[in-house]
Amino acid sequence: MFWMRSLVTLAVGASLLTLSGCGLGNARSSSTDARLAAAQAKRSRQVVTLGFRDVSQLARLDDADIDLFENVNLSARTVDAAVSEAGIRKLRAKGITVTRSIHADAYEAFAFPAGYRTVAQIQAELQQLAADHPGVVKLQEIGKSVQGRPLVAVCLSSKAGTGLPALLVSSGHHARELPPVELTMRYIRTMAEGYGKDPVVSRLLDSREVWVMPLVNPDGRARVEGGDSMWRKNMRPNGGGSTGVDTNRNADDHFESGDKNPYSDAYQGSAPFSEPETAAIRNLCERVPFKVALDIHCYGGMILWPPGYDRSVTPDDRTFKVIGTRLAKGGKYRAGTIAQTIYQTFGDVATWQYSKKKILAFAAELDDGRFNPPYRQVDTDWSIWQDNLMYLTDVTGNLPNP
């Protein structure tokens, strides 16, 4: 939700417009043409920096022509994206400047970076932690992904199920965003191994119930492992050669305003909570009365909170600011509502958690400069986020007055 991307070429949109008027005499099916156009568009993408006069210019750029990142800098009026040559022409026609991004070279190599865990390694490590620390670590399979992989939530508490204040931490919505998953895995290990040894950890797990979902989108992560390093969505077959739904645009909050183009990197899906990955989070939030939630993404260096759908503030904005500003200080992040700090989002999980479940829901964009930095960046992130996560765990049981 954003806890940032590539512009799909205009060729996709143009091909679809042409195909809609095609007659029966075409040699190839429309689905074949669309599939080929989409593949060609992705191969021609390049990472660029967009310069805009007003953030409203970004309002509907998250379509099949544009994979818009979330590292919006409102002061500099810039944001990165991945775009084709045809897409660049389209953007310039809208008055948006396009220059080569300083991060462009990061996307020329498609190898899975050394040091990052694979899906199989993540699952094996969670199983081992549960076996080694049965008193405070319990695994729950809360669903299956589109391709049938287990969706695993970790409950950390010495008194699980006794009504303690509950926190939910998640990561891995967007497959290409590698560091957030490593952070949540370190958080799980720190809490599990620290119980009974570290007095702070012991106090927190005796008085809080912490849930962590480190890998919301295992299918997409597996695709990234296989070499498609810019893949963002899950692996839902949409038909017509299109694959994938953005699981952080699939929640039931202002869903009707979301991106309906299945070729888009921000495609909302066929219906609210149509995706098993998002439905699993919904079901968990309906079963556990979470007080606070945090969804971790990268990149951009931001702490965000609802709403995403417009630039208003919620009745709990003061509390959001108290907690969000504290989280932002550790890494000198920017902080604010989603729509005020980046751009409008529809169907994001954090806004749904707050509006429908009254959870104080935050999203973080790590300050990594790219989606898949060298693994050493995780150490830098952890030096900031170990304290942040401990603070958030603590504040879950001691929320500031609104």
**pLDDT digits (tens), the chain, 402 positions:** 333 333 332 222 332 222 222 222 333 344 444 444 544 455 578 889 999 998 878 776 655 577 888 888 888 999 998 888 878 888 888 889 999 887 676 565 567 899 999 999 999 999 999 999 999 999 999 999 999 999 999 999 999 999 999 999 999 999 999 999 999 999 999 999 999 999 999 999 999 999 999 999 999 999 999 988 889 999 999 999 999 999 999 999 999 999 999 998 999 999 999 999 999 999 999 999 999 999 999 989 999 999 999 999 999 999 999 999 999 997 789 999 999 998 899 999 999 999 999 999 999 999 998 899 999 999 999 999 999 999 999 999 998 765
CATH number, domain of 337, equals 3.40.630.10
Give the domain-ending residue among 48, 81, 107: 107
pLDDT at 67: 86
- Grouping H, G, I as helix, E, B as strand and the rest as coil, residue 102 is coil
Task: Say whether both 172 and 291 belong to one domain.
Answer: yes
In a domain, 225, yes or no: yes
Could you tell me if 254 and 56 are in contact, meaning their C-beta atoms sit under 8 angstroms apart? no
Task: Say whether both 130 and 83 belong to one domain.
Answer: no
Beta strands 360-366 and 302-305: pairing type? antiparallel
Task: Say whether both 61 and 156 belong to one domain.
Answer: no
Task: Say whether both 213 and 287 belong to one domain.
Answer: yes
Task: Say whether both 130 and 245 belong to one domain.
Answer: yes
Total count of domains within the chain: 2
Q: Kindly give, in sequence order, each residue whose CB lies less than 8 Å from that of residue 93, ignoring residues fewer than 6 positions away.
A: none
Give the domain-ending residue among 66, 84, 107: 107
pLDDT at 402: 59
Q: Kindly give, in sequence order, each residue whose CB lies less than 8 Å from that of residue 131, ignoring residues fewer than 6 positions away.
A: none
Reading phi first (left if > 0) and then psi (alpha if -120 to 50, else beta), residue 331 is in alpha
- Cα–chain-centroid distance for residue 53? 26
Could you tell me if 126 and 152 are in contact, meaning their C-beta atoms sit under 8 angstroms apart? yes
The DSSP call for residue 71 is -
Task: Say whether both 306 and 228 belong to one domain.
Answer: yes
Task: Say whether both 44 and 75 belong to one domain.
Answer: yes
List helix spans (H) across 242-344. 276-287, 317-331, 338-341
In a domain, 206, yes or no: yes
- Cα–chain-centroid distance for residue 198? 31
Task: Say whether both 37 and 102 belong to one domain.
Answer: yes
In a domain, 62, yes or no: yes
Task: Say whether both 389 and 369 belong to one domain.
Answer: yes
Q: Kindly give, in sequence order, each residue whose CB lies less than 8 Å from that of residue 304, ignoring residues fewer than 6 positions away.
A: 1, 2, 3, 324, 335, 336, 337, 338, 341, 342, 350, 362, 363, 364, 365
pLDDT at 102: 76
In a domain, 340, yes or no: yes
In a domain, 2, yes or no: no
pLDDT at 100: 85
In a domain, 205, yes or no: yes
pLDDT at 208: 97
Domain limits for position 278? 119-396
Give the domain-ending residue among 49, 75, 107: 107
CATH number, domain of 91, equals 3.30.70
In a domain, 392, yes or no: yes
pTM confidence score? 0.85
How far apart CA 3 and CA 70 sit, in angstroms, is 9
Task: HSE, CB side, 13 Å, CA atoms: give it for residue 227.
Answer: 0
In a domain, 114, yes or no: no
Task: Say whether both 337 and 309 belong to one domain.
Answer: yes
Task: Say whether both 98 and 127 belong to one domain.
Answer: no
Task: Say whether both 132 and 92 belong to one domain.
Answer: no
> Which of 238, 179, 166 has its CA nearest to residue 399?
166
